[in-house]
Amino acid sequence: MTSKKSLPTKVTISPDALYEDLDGKIVILNFQKEKYYTLDEIGSDMWKLFNEKNNTEEVIKQLLEDYDVDEEKLTNDLADLISKLSDSGLVTINY
């Protein structure tokens, strides 16, 4: 069994990230790196919630209402996505 990963308290979408919803998938352009990224449907929902709420506790609550998923798995998946987005310069995080 894996342990629940810690999440930052706040996730903010970078001003360098231009994004568009294309058929339920978010496509993101990072102007600084001149790279495109695509999120699947669940990742896209997470991204939209960062844009609306940017508080990870609220994001978790909403996703638990929207999806039939274990909270630990959701938290770990969200932590992985946040880490990848942060490493790519698409979001900033605060603990």
Closest CA to 85 of 5, 6, 16: 16
pLDDT of residue 24: 85
Q: What is the mean pLDDT of the chain?
A: 90
pLDDT of residue 2: 63
Check whether 4 has a pLDDT greater than 80.
no
Q: What is the pLDDT of residues 44-74, one digit of tens each?
A: 999 999 999 868 999 999 999 999 999 999 9
- Enclosing H/E stretch for 45: helix 41-52
What single string gives the DSSP state of each residue in 44-80? HHHHHHHHHT-BHHHHHHHHHHHS---HHHHHHHHHH
* Alpha carbon distance, N-terminus to C-terminus of the chain: 25
Check whether 3 has a pLDDT greater than 80.
no
